[in-house]
Copies of this chain bind each other. A is one copy, B any other.
Amino acid sequence: MVTAEDFVLKGFDKAGDTNNQLGFNVTQASVMQLPGLNTLGISMVRLDFAAPLGLNPPHTHPRATEILVLIEGTLLVGFITTNNTLISTTLQKGDVFVFPNALVHFQLNIGDVNAVAISALSSQNPGTQQVARTLFGASPPVDPAVLAKAFMIDPKLVQLLQNKFKSSS
């Protein structure tokens, strides 16, 4: 028997805690929080960005396109195409933006006030890979030789970055 409880989730009016290195927080309404979404191919998140420069760092959703509406503040947003072209713009309150399926994208608070956005994703379980943390903070760690060559940096810098991500997780 389904009931209304399976289809409702409270709390998207509460600001997430942005007191962290990125100045950023995400509140989720995926199938784990909202069981009624099962098989329905959609979900929602609230995004909070501290001022100034709260950042949702470059990341992908392996199984979803994202459509975002800015509720408060000013965001620099962008995604990169498979041709390595950056598609970017500045959003003001009330602007809607699309991040196509599984492409790397980011959002940065470039205004003076905290920013708030609502995003919907085209999967009940979209998943997220924060690219920097995926590469330098994976457990067990990725072989430094892979990252040194990929980023054209010294292996010692790779290990320094891996230590930073390890201690910040």
Contact surface of A with B, Cβ cutoff 8 Å? 2-4, 7-14, 21-22, 29, 34, 36-37, 40-44, 46, 53, 55, 57-58, 60, 62-63, 65-67, 69, 71, 76, 78, 80-82, 84-89, 91-104, 106, 108, 118, 120-122, 127-143, 145-147, 149-153, 161, 164-165, 168
Residues of B within 8 A of A118 (CB): 69, 118
Contact flag A82-B128 (CB < 8 Å), given A10-B95, A103-B62: yes
Number of copies of this kind of chain in the complex: 6
Residues of B within 8 A of A53 (CB): 145, 149
Q: Is the CB of A44 within 8 A of B67?
A: yes
Cα distance A60–B44 in the bound complex, in angstroms? 20
Q: Is the CB of A13 within 8 A of B135?
A: no
Cα distance A87–B2 in the bound complex, in angstroms? 8
26 residue pairs of the A-B complex, CB under 8 angstroms, read A2-B87, A7-B98, A8-B91, A8-B96, A29-B96, A36-B100, A40-B100, A41-B41, A42-B65, A55-B146, A55-B149, A58-B147, A60-B62, A60-B104, A69-B118, A82-B127, A84-B133, A84-B139, A85-B139, A88-B140, A88-B142, A106-B142, A122-B122, A131-B131, A132-B150, A152-B165
